[in-house]
Structure 1
């Protein structure tokens, strides 16, 4: 006897709408109009003979029937997605698309990605730069690298706060901790030669401090962690990305406060100098993020293993530099 199912397209539409509790968000995920979503839901409700959603003024809620259908349907689609990824994985290694923070991409990942390509020529890496929380339901990416915390903890004493959301739909994701996010103040050799290192609160008051739009509290938290009573001024230049702040520091425009992993190579090469003899951890870490359903794909496993091979050296350098240093 043949199986009897409602329209699979309608079921897929219902699952997306129920997961988001929004016809609008479901339409964006499925790349169809909101009217098309409403039409598919109506067809499904007619097939079942009962409403699945309560249509409110500006939102929707699941009915009792909708609540009965959604968990099993979501699990079924998760299993289909998992099985599909396993079949795709057996086709070959192919393309691996990774969403990466722009400065981390430029300053850390790209200088090392040649090594990966030489070791795994059958995997083509596509990098997509973004600072937004990664949304695997709407973005065509396999992995993401973000900074923050899977749980938005409040800032501990002596840490630089970090208010960044890393990803949407966290319960469906895997997180691999990569490296600490520790803030270091850097300037050009010329700036330091002219003004000297910043060793006291008075020195900090006199310095030109470069500000970051995405880390608005960074300088205040950093200086507080040092125990310096500094009257913060916002007279220095402000930028939207760390690579802009780093470039401004290289040009002698002031002192930039940035994650040390982004400037380790520049400090070693002499392009930048550590302007304040301290490094202060933030409340977050750098993470590799991926879907649970795709975490064991062959190309994902290979990239994870390659990335992890660099972590002991990064951690050793971090330990050698110390944390709070006077």
Structure 2
């Protein structure tokens, strides 16, 4: 008996339009005209005998029938994609496309990647760097690493939001079908070059940092004011007139002796350990966000994604062990 199924093109048009709630964006994604999307959905509605969308003046919304049908179609597409990937990648060299924040890639991930290649010689990691919110529907990405806050997440009853520097970066454009794993905390600490501290009295409290030039981040405008507030000091952000676009830029400025940068400790760790940067005041505050591993929900347990995720967790745990060992050694001195 032949199956009674709609056309694949019509289903793709429906899924994209339902996800975007916009026929024009669905058309852009599928490289067709808006009229083609409208016709495909109209064919579906006529075939089913029920409306899938409610056409309003400037927008569209799913009807009850559309809301009921969407998860079924999406699940079917996910299963087809998974099965296809398994067939394509069987007995083949596997490629993993990873979209990462630039400074995280340069300072944390790339120095460790050779170890992943040794452990998984059959997986080729292709890195792409970007600070834009990731969109798994539009981009050919398997895994992304972003820093921020998961929408509607609970910070925990023991967390005082006022003591956490805000982070306004958006991690994903569309959170549907996205799974997030917390990788690392975003712990902010002041750093500068040793030369900058020459001739400067030892800093004992946050207020004393105001005697030094402070380096700012365009993407973290709240960092210094919130860090000072959490330290019990009021700071007027209007006092600065220049900001850097990336952490690697502000770190380079700090290395050049331009001022004090407020950065995630893990990104400055190599330079601190090498003596190129110093921490003028051992006072750190964890921001409201964290570094997360993002992937498609239906690919989260694929062999390639799971191998990379588990390796990242192992690297994190090793870093924490080394940090604890170093702290114990310092305590014994």
Scaled by the length of structure 2, what TM-score is found? 0.88
Distance 1:252 1:33, change over 3 A: farther
Corresponding residue number in structure 2 for 1:264: 269
Between the aligned partners of 1:311 and 1:211, the Cα distance in structure 2 is 27
Corresponding residue number in structure 2 for 1:134: 134
Corresponding residue number in structure 2 for 1:85: 85
Matched, 1:14 2:14: yes
Distance 1:48 1:152, change over 3 A: closer
Which of 283, 288, 294 is equivalent to 1:289?
294
Asked if 2 retains the 8 angstrom alpha-carbon contact of 1:156 and 1:283, the reply is: yes
Asked if 1 retains the 8 angstrom alpha-carbon contact of 2:206 and 2:281, the reply is: no
Scaled by the length of structure 1, what TM-score is found? 0.90
Secondary structure of the residue aligned to 2:135 is coil
Distance 1:110 1:49, change over 3 A: same
Q: Structure 1 residue 133: deviation in Å? A: 1.6
Matched, 1:212 2:232: no
Asked if 2 retains the 8 angstrom alpha-carbon contact of 1:148 and 1:163, the reply is: yes
Unpaired runs of 5+ residues, structure 2, are 329-333
Asked if 2 retains the 8 angstrom alpha-carbon contact of 1:205 and 1:232, the reply is: no
Asked if 2 retains the 8 angstrom alpha-carbon contact of 1:204 and 1:230, the reply is: no
Between the aligned partners of 1:68 and 1:228, the Cα distance in structure 2 is 53
Unpaired runs of 5+ residues, structure 1, are none
Q: Structure 1 residue 22: deviation in Å? A: 1.1
Q: How does 1:80-119 map to 2 (within 5 A)?
A: 80-119=80-119
Q: Structure 1 residue 286: deviation in Å? A: 1.1
Between the aligned partners of 1:305 and 1:139, the Cα distance in structure 2 is 23
Between the aligned partners of 1:198 and 1:239, the Cα distance in structure 2 is 25
The number of equivalent residue pairs is: 322
Distance 1:55 1:142, change over 3 A: same
Asked if 1 retains the 8 angstrom alpha-carbon contact of 2:134 and 2:173, the reply is: yes
Which of 307, 314, 322 is equivalent to 1:309?
314
Greater Cα shift, 84-93 or 313-322: 313-322
Q: Structure 1 residue 53: deviation in Å? A: 2.2
Greater Cα shift, 200-209 or 127-136: 200-209
